[in-house]
Amino acid sequence: MSRYFEKEQHIPQPEYDAMWVNIEQEATKRKATLQQSQEAPMHRTKIVPASIVFSCFLLIAIPVFASVTINWDRIGGRSVTNAINNGIGQRYDLKATNAGITMNLNGVVTDGEKMKMLISLDPGTDPSSYIGFAIEKTMVTSNSNNKERAHGYLNYDPKSKKLLGIYETVDTLKDRKKNYTLEAQNLIFYRNQDIPLKTNHQAGDTLVTGTKQYPNIYIESVRQTNNKTVVRFRVAAAPSDLGRGNPHLVMKVGDKEIDAIPTILPSDSPELHIEQVFNMTAQDWRKANLHFCYIEEAKRIEGTWKFEFEADGKKASEAIYSKKLHSSAEFRENTGATLDQLIITPLDIEILVTERDSLKKGNVHYKTAQLVIGDKKINGGWNLKGAGPENYQHLYQFESSEWYKDWSDVPMKLILKDAVIQKRDTSKNWITLHKPKEEKQFAELNVDGYQIDFTYYTEGKDLIVESKSVSPGFKGVNQTTMRINDKEVVPEIIAKGMVSTGVNVDRYKDIELDGKLELNPGLYKYSDPGRNIEVVLK
């Protein structure tokens, strides 16, 4: 279920570039959280399925997917149905009925790493009354009694008037034939709640919501930066909640509603620690009315829908195509990476690469990754796979929405654009600070052709450093570094939200303010259109 069904222009967008700084360290933790949170509705970023359309390399005509009225493409299922329509994977018409609800298992496809299953059902009620739907728990058991959780989501398709779902689990089939049992337990319907709160909504306020799911809110801080209002608050919640109800604040002025994407920050207590950045001045903030919104369970249909099916992975394993890739000096220089292998599976096209350059030289992340097949383009993105940071494989991943029996002669070209460089070089770029005091002082530094402006001052025994830049193309400072009497120190590690205000704030605690203080921009990022590159793969 999507967290946001319509993207409003006034909602600040996440600073996606910042994610790549710590993504490897965070991936394991997020994966564990994801596995737990699948028991409730998924707050997913909408993914637009890529498409590949060709007039050459025509396939032999075969029957199309049985349920022609079901549009699996709308939920990212094009590659699954395409594989099934080409005889890779299995098509089913299995039904299970419980509490008056009939659920269908429509198809299964494997690719050596994952198994994807298509599920459809009639909700048995008016879907417009609800914001989303979810199966509380799905489990796949093989004939060897190995059990694996399956994770996925449900979306409503108005054309077929069905709930459609794609559920994914580990591929234990490989190139063999096995019997499986899929069990789907409890169907849940969700709705939005909007609670007006009477308060001055200032730091230190404790608000009682009157709800059982999130009984109270504590506003931790409210600060204004660059005509934006950054609010941090804590929400009382059950330890198992994990933010699955999407609790967040909404500001309303008359008929105007101002929303802001919530970031759930790390917390050492069951309370949810949340940050939101509103496009509001301090004056606008004071005039607005505060509302607390979240998603609650509105209806639950208890029961288990069970399907027994046989899957054969032989055709899928035979269909996998791979090719060793070679990198030119230009590609290595522009991207900081080396091409490794092209792998085409029934579900994905993957371009494996080796790890990127060091932060000192600069990590390169491309916001736009496209694969050209013939004269058609499909969009994809950078990804990681593997169990744990030590086993991560870097890759560019694309949805293989059309299948060719022989991929060996299909021309392919990789296009990488909109590069963002993330860098940290403490061998240079230092500036000496005057003795800090409560009054704000200012300094500036030119780094890689960009001017970075610093504001520094004391709060008690702490030194606060604010960093920003108005230079076009500069994407921001993530974390500065201080050198105190020639010894490097980093600021207090404080969780930061995914929406940037354009100003980075670091706090150095209990440092020797009378010593020799030198400041380095530390970790920063900037765009570099000169890194755009195209490379022929085959």
Q: Alpha-carbon distance 530 to 494, whole Å? A: 33
Buried b (16+ CB within 10 A) or exposed e, 117-148: bbbbbebeeebeebbbbbbbebbbbeeeeeeb
pLDDT tens, residue by residue, 466-495: 999 999 999 999 999 999 999 999 998 888
Expressed in angstroms, the distance from the first to the final Cα of the chain is 38
- Across 122-266, the runs of DSSP E, i.e. the strands, are 132-142, 147-149, 151-157, 162-170, 177-197, 206-208, 216-225, 228-235, 248-253, 256-258, 262-265
Q: Alpha-carbon distance 234 to 207, whole Å? A: 10
Q: Alpha-carbon distance 497 to 287, whole Å? A: 25
CB count in 10 Å sphere of residue 418 = 14
What is the residue-averaged pLDDT of the chain?
A: 83
pLDDT surpassing 90 at residue 135: yes
Q: Which of the listed ranges 24-33, 139-148, 474-483 does the model predict with the highest average pLDDT?
A: 474-483
pLDDT surpassing 50 at residue 1: no
Q: Which range among 39-53, 99-113, 270-284, 518-532 shows the weakest confidence by mean pLDDT? A: 39-53
pLDDT tens, residue by residue, 425-473: 999 999 999 999 999 999 999 999 999 999 999 998 899 999 999 999 9
- Confidence band (pLDDT; 50, 70, 90) for 145? confident
Return the bridge partners of 116, or none.
109, 168
What is the rounded average pLDDT of the residues 175-179?
89
Look at the alpha carbons of 288, 289, 290, 292 in this order and tell me if their dihedral is positive or negative.
negative
What's the count of helices (H) and strands (E) in the chain, helices before strands?
5, 32
What is the rounded average pLDDT of the residues 266-275?
89
User: Which pLDDT value is given to residue 401?
Assistant: 65
Give residue 6's identity as a one-letter amino acid code: E
Please state, in angstroms and as integers, the Cα–Cα distance from residue 511 to each residue in 464, 478, 483, 514, following that order: 11, 20, 11, 9
